[in-house]
């Protein structure tokens, strides 16, 4: 088993090296299949011994041998991450058809993450194939017994969720809240994991987005001196916290007080959301953050810890 573990880890490193090239060349419009690796700065062809995952990065001290330009740390990070994910897939599901499908899913999700993080774009070539592959995965019962219908429903819900909220964003602030790539990715994750796990993925991704997104939004509002939106954001967060803790009032024998508090917090939240959207429409300053990476992160959590996550799904 140790030999196979090393083997799949190394294969993952090699695949990760290719995924780096694929993502960056998709963004630049270049061929990523037949053209040899080259330095993005001086365009010199990279020799095989300078293209060994992670090791070459260390030996070259993160610099191109030809021009001395620094090499992005993205390369070893993606290689190592892919190697570890391939290893975890093998350790969980061994030498199986399910592992092969998950290797493909993992590879495309990594490319989607890179392109969405760098330029907020998800290419159809990396997202659309995931939908039929996910349905085939469940048709073959690799995701569990009787999962095909939940997978079809999940694909529909995933697409509908992002389409609906995208159009709400257009109606309120004059800009789509999500891109078309998010819609396809949502449908793809629903096709792979089914509608129940998709809902868990959406909930986790919103939470992940908030963790790194809210500080960025606060900072951008402060930088623009948009103090009205800052206060509205603070009020919205306050309303969320109060509404969460107000349920404990029912344990103190004060259900009417709890209902009143919840209604007031909803009113406060509504006012705050109105102010934020109004200011966004007036100033045309929209802090748009890529939603693909949180979706992918949540998808990996469901992939590896689905049994644990299912305990917290209330249906």
pLDDT at 301 over 90: yes
Q: What is the pLDDT of residue 214?
A: 73
Q: What is the pLDDT of residue 74?
A: 92
**Within-domain flag for 245:** yes
Over residues 129-149, the mean pLDDT reads 94
The per-residue pLDDT for range 22-51, each reduced to its tens digit, is: 999 999 888 887 777 777 778 778 877 878
**Within-domain flag for 134:** no
Are 285 and 223 a contacting pair, CB within 8 Å?
Answer: no
Task: For residue 45, report the phi and psi dihedrals to the nearest 5 degrees.
Answer: -65, 140
Q: What is the pLDDT of residue 296?
A: 96
**For the chain, what is the domain count?**
1
Q: What is the pLDDT of residue 252?
A: 55
Q: What is the pLDDT of residue 172?
A: 64
**Within-domain flag for 279:** yes
Q: Which of 18-27, 44-53, 134-143, 154-163 has the lowest mean pLDDT?
A: 44-53
**Within-domain flag for 135:** no
Are 273 and 236 a contacting pair, CB within 8 Å?
Answer: yes
Q: What is the pLDDT of residue 94?
A: 94
Q: What is the pLDDT of residue 62?
A: 85
Q: Which of 8-12, 59-63, 147-151, 271-275 has the lowest mean pLDDT?
A: 271-275
Rounded Cα distance, 233 and 273, in Å = 8
Q: What is the pLDDT of residue 65?
A: 80
User: What percent of the chain shows pLDDT beyond 90?
Assistant: 45
pLDDT at 116 over 60: yes
Nearest CA to 177 out of 280, 283, 282 is that of 280
The residue segments making up the domain with residue 238 are: 225-283
**What six digits make up the tokens of 249?**
């009032």
**Within-domain flag for 29:** no
pLDDT at 85 over 70: yes
Over residues 169-197, the mean pLDDT reads 85
Rounded Cα distance, 37 and 54, in Å = 15
The per-residue pLDDT for range 222-238, each reduced to its tens digit, is: 777 777 878 887 887 78
pLDDT at 244 over 70: no
pLDDT-based confidence at residue 221 (cuts at 50, 70, 90): confident
Q: What is the pLDDT of residue 122?
A: 95
Over residues 253-275, the mean pLDDT reads 73
Kindly report the average pLDDT of the chain as a whole number. 85
**Within-domain flag for 236:** yes
The DSSP secondary structure of the chain, one letter per residue, reads: -HHHHHHHHHHHHHHHHHHHHHHHHHHHT--SSSSPPB-TTT-PBPPGGG-STTHHHHHTTTB-TTT-PBPPTHHHHHHHHHHHHHHHHHHHH-SSHHHHHHHHHHHHHHHHHHHHHHHS---HHHHTTHHHHHHHHHHTTSS-TT-HHHHHHHHHHHHHHHHHHHHHHHHHHSS-SS-HHHHHHHHHHHHHHHHHHHHHHHHHHHHHHHHHHHHHHHHHHHHTT-HHHHHHHHHHHHHHHHHHHGGGGGGGT-HHHHHHHHHHHHHHHHHHHHHHHHHHHHH--------HHHHHHHHHHHHHHHHHHHTT---
The per-residue pLDDT for range 270-296, each reduced to its tens digit, is: 787 777 767 766 665 555 678 899 999
**What six digits make up the tokens of 162?**
């992002």
Over residues 184-202, the mean pLDDT reads 95
pLDDT-based confidence at residue 216 (cuts at 50, 70, 90): confident
Rounded Cα distance, 191 and 149, in Å = 9
Over residues 249-278, the mean pLDDT reads 71
**Within-domain flag for 267:** yes
The distance from CA 2 to its chain's CA centroid, rounded to whole angstroms, is: 31
**Within-domain flag for 181:** no
């Amino acid at each position: 088993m140790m030999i196979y573990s090393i083997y799949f880890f190394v294969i993952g490193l090699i695949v990760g090296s290719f995924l780096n090239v694929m993502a960056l060349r998709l963004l630049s419009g270049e061929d990523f299949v037949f053209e040899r690796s080259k330095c993005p700065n001086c365009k010199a062809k990279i020799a095989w011994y300078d293209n060994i995952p992670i090791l070459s990065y260390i030996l070259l001290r993160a610099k191109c041998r030809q021009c001395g330009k620094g090499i992005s740390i993205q390369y070893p990070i993606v290689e190592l991450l892919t190697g570890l994910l391939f290893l975890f897939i093998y350790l969980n599901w061994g030498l199986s058809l399910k592992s092969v499908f998950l290797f493909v899913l993992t590879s495309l999700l990594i490319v989607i993450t890179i392109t969405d993080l760098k330029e907020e774009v998800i290419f159809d070539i990396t997202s659309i194939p995931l939908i039929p592959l996910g349905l085939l995965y469940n048709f073959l019962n690799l995701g569990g017994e009787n999962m095909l219908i939940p997978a079809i429903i999940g694909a529909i819900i995933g697409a509908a969720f992002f389409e609906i909220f995208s159009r709400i964003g257009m109606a309120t602030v004059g800009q789509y809240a999500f891109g078309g790539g998010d819609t396809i990715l949502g449908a793809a994750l629903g096709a792979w994991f089914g509608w129940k796990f998709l809902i868990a993925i959406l909930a986790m991704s919103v939470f992940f987005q908030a963790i790194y997104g809210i500080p960025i939004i606060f900072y951008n509002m402060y930088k623009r001196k948009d103090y009205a939106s800052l206060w509205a954001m603070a009020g919205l967060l306050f309303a969320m916290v109060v509404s969460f803790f107000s349920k404990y009032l029912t344990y103190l024998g004060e259900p009417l007080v709890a209902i009143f508090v919840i209604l007031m917090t909803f009113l406060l939240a509504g006012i705050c959301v109105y102010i934020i959207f109004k200011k966004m429409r007036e100033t045309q300053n929209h802090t748009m953050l890529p939603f693909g990476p949180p979706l992918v992160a949540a998808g990996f959590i469901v992939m590896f810890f689905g049994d644990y996550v299912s305990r917290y799904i209330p249906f």
